Amino acid sequence: MTFQDQIKQGIPSVLPQPKLYEKEINHAPKRKDILSIEEKKLALRNALRYFEPQHHEELIKEFASELEKYGRIYMYRFRPDYDIYARPINEYPGKSDQAKAIMLMIQNNLDHAVAQHPHELITYGGNGAVFQNWAQYLLTMQYLSEMTDEQTLTMYSGHPMGLFPSHKEAPRVVVTNGMVIPNYSKPDDWERMNALGVSQYGQMTAGSYMYIGPQGIVHGTTITVLNAFRKIKRSPKGGLFVTSGLGGMSGAQPKAGNIAGCITVCAEVNRKITHIRHSQGWVDEVIEDLNELVSRVNLAKANEEIISIAYLGNIVDVWEKFDQENVHVDLGSDQTSLHNPWAGGYYPIGFTFEQSNDLMANNPTKFKEEVQKTLRFHADAINKHTEKGTYFFDYGNAFLLEASRAGAKIMDENNIDFKYNSYVQDIMGPMCFDYGFGPFRWVCASGKLEDLVKTDLIACQVLQELVKTAPEEIQQQMQDNIQWIKGAQENKLVVGSQARILYADAEGRAKIAEAFNQAIAIGEIGIIILGRDHHDVSGTDSPYRETSNIYDGSKFTADMAIQNVIGDSFRGATWVSIHNGGGVGWGEVINGGFGMVLDGSQEASKRLKSMLFWDVNNGISRRSWARNDGAIFAIKRAMETQPLLKATLPNVVAEALFNF
């Protein structure tokens, strides 16, 4: 069968042969045994409903074995024989270019070069899933191959509920992930519902089909590191940035440090992923000995090198060793997956990677105790460095939140707030999000490098034109992104699809998108797929990250994210998504994203102008109402450019009036 025939087939009527478990692949850890005997029977019933009854007798034992071995039913037997990667859009079967674009993005998320655990359909973050099992993948791709522009596919936590009659201006796909009743949003609730096959953790761009590999976060991390050095009034040259995590999105940290121009040390316990990042060129050197690491860092400091070093081991050991040896750390953070602390997101000291995985699966209570003990050591070591002048910021991975729950000494003197701010509070919020600057990304559906080169040039030209008349308040943001896009190709950031990201405001996003659409119309480039990270101005309500610089008491509300996805859906998005969880944990955040296909048509031009303006200014209006100065400036400027916009502005109360 051809690739197209296999896509159109969906779930095969004749059972394929069982697949070998490929040990060389980076697999998800075994999930804990959380289901009762009756619930395990229910999980099997749920899994078998994808298959005709004559296959149930053969499959039930196999699926029961998977549930026992891995804690989940992945249906490995049904993993396709073809390679999964982002093919040129014209290689996908179908009746709708929009649907073909979505197939391209789904396959990009599951590309072995992109996905963290590809055989478990997990893109990044340890549990950020595109689908729960391979039957869902096969059925979804079949539906997309049959879809017309008069239908919409609804996706319930990886499960394709079906194609429904719709219309051309509606989204082709609507995705929800993990949208459970609030009182059932604890980590164990996810474990149970995911094991049952009824809900999943979509992270952010994983379950939204919009992940573009580590490049997606390289840019945001670069901007963060540059502005962190500006905050401490120090040049990155010869400066030391210490962090951890090389899996999935956090693999971007060493590359971002190189682009920013500093020395980066990033610890990682997983040998396989460490060497993958090294082979991909995302990290320059790998060191396993702490004494060797100290010597290498001191040499790099003396020579003011720009270098990234992966330490194969636990980050806590690095912090403690650098304290003992008086190695000064300028910037410190952590980007392990602490939204997922009990299922592979963070590993305790005193155990090998393999021992930890065994403990996690077979003695989860002990594993949790060891993780929390390690978090206390971790925080103590960081505190010693900050007393020496290190600037530490929480990277929105729930490090401070989980450390506080573990009893670590990371609260302020009033024991109310954390003693360290998140990077959104200190850097990205006031410097970028409040002004409307956030991640704008695009994928060249042709798969051609020459299209990416042309789009880079178009985007750069648009930004260079905009900066000429940009107000002083956003000049730095504009210049940083012009510099980024100029150097994007030489930094070899593409993994998977031919994609790019930069930070832009609503005006910049719309003008770049319109320039792309015009270039498509005259045949200069092929179809472009627009999207963004959920980590943006408007798409995410996350009190410890994206909305941590909201101080009017509304940071625990999620109206903005819900309004965002609803508004995007009727203003022209090709697909929309809304998730519970993402980045900081299940039950801790609501976040949404979109995809938009540009095909050179007048209809696409109309849609992009309407949707992109809303997608940004929804968030700016909320931030303005919270009395954020930058957002008040930005929403007033937006109202000047768009007469149909009339946002409610806050009246600020004089502090002197509270003296009574």
Bridge pairing between strands 391-392 and 331-332:
parallel
Q: What is the pLDDT of residue 281?
A: 85
85 assigned to some structural domain: yes
What's the one-letter identity of residue 390? T
CB atoms within 10 A of CB 415: 7
State the Cα angle at 444 between 443 and 450, rounded to 5°.
135
Q: Where are the alpha helices (DSSP H) in 244-350?
A: 253-260, 271-279, 290-303, 315-324
Q: What is the pLDDT of residue 416?
A: 81
pLDDT(491) > 80: no
Q: What is the pLDDT of residue 54?
A: 96
Q: What is the pLDDT of residue 404?
A: 94
- Rounded to 5 degrees, what are φ and ψ at 330? -80, -50
Same-domain pairing of 474 and 548: yes
582 assigned to some structural domain: yes
pLDDT(423) > 70: yes
Whole-angstrom Cα distance, residue 318 to residue 564?
Answer: 41
pLDDT tens column, 67-108:
999 999 999 999 999 999 999 999 999 999 999 999 999 999
157 assigned to some structural domain: yes
204 assigned to some structural domain: no
Same-domain pairing of 406 and 504: no
Same-domain pairing of 403 and 439: no
Known binding-site positions: 125-126, 203, 268, 395, 583
pLDDT tens column, 375-390:
999 999 999 999 999 9
Same-domain pairing of 413 and 438: no
652 assigned to some structural domain: no
Domain encompassing residue 380: 214-420
Same-domain pairing of 584 and 454: yes
Whole-angstrom Cα distance, residue 331 to residue 152?
Answer: 47
Same-domain pairing of 252 and 370: yes
pLDDT(396) > 80: no
Interaxial angle between packed helices 253-260 and 215-231, expressed in degrees from 0 to 180 and rounded to the nearest 10: 50
- 88: domain CATH number is 3.40.1770.10
463 assigned to some structural domain: yes
Same-domain pairing of 353 and 465: no
Same-domain pairing of 259 and 365: yes
Same-domain pairing of 454 and 601: yes
Q: What is the pLDDT of residue 292?
A: 98
Same-domain pairing of 221 and 79: no
Q: What is the pLDDT of residue 8?
A: 98
Where a domain ends, among 146, 165, 196?
Answer: 196
Mean pLDDT across 282-298? 97
Where a domain ends, among 420, 445, 464?
Answer: 420
Where a domain ends, among 196, 222, 252?
Answer: 196
Known binding-site positions for NAD(+): 125-126, 203, 268, 395, 583
Task: Count structural domains, the chain.
Answer: 3
Q: What is the pLDDT of residue 593?
A: 96
pLDDT(322) > 80: yes
- 301: domain CATH number is 3.40.50.10730
288 assigned to some structural domain: yes
| Mean pLDDT value across the chain | 94
pLDDT tens column, 443-472:
999 999 999 999 999 999 999 999 999 999
Mean pLDDT across 262-279? 93
Residue 102 neighbours by CB under 8 Å, 6+ apart: 144, 172, 173, 209, 574, 575, 595
pLDDT(656) > 70: yes
pLDDT(250) > 70: no
Q: What is the pLDDT of residue 439?
A: 93
pLDDT(248) > 80: no
pLDDT tens column, 164-178:
999 999 999 999 999
Same-domain pairing of 227 and 344: yes
Same-domain pairing of 415 and 436: no
CA–CA distances in Å: residue 552 to residues 624, 625, 627: 11, 9, 8
pLDDT tens column, 631-642:
999 999 999 999
DSSP code string of 516-548: HHHHHHTTSS--EEEE--SSSSSSEE-TTTTTT
pLDDT tens column, 205-220:
999 999 988 777 888 8
pLDDT(249) > 70: no
Q: What is the pLDDT of residue 490?
A: 79
End-to-end Cα separation, the chain, in angstroms: 80
Q: Is 505 helix (H, G, I), strand (E, B) or coil?
A: coil
DSSP code string of 58-108: HHHHHHHHHHHHHSS---GGGS-SSPPS---GGGS-SS-HHHHHHHHHHHH
Reported as a pLDDT band with limits 50, 70 and 90, residue 584 is confident
202 assigned to some structural domain: no
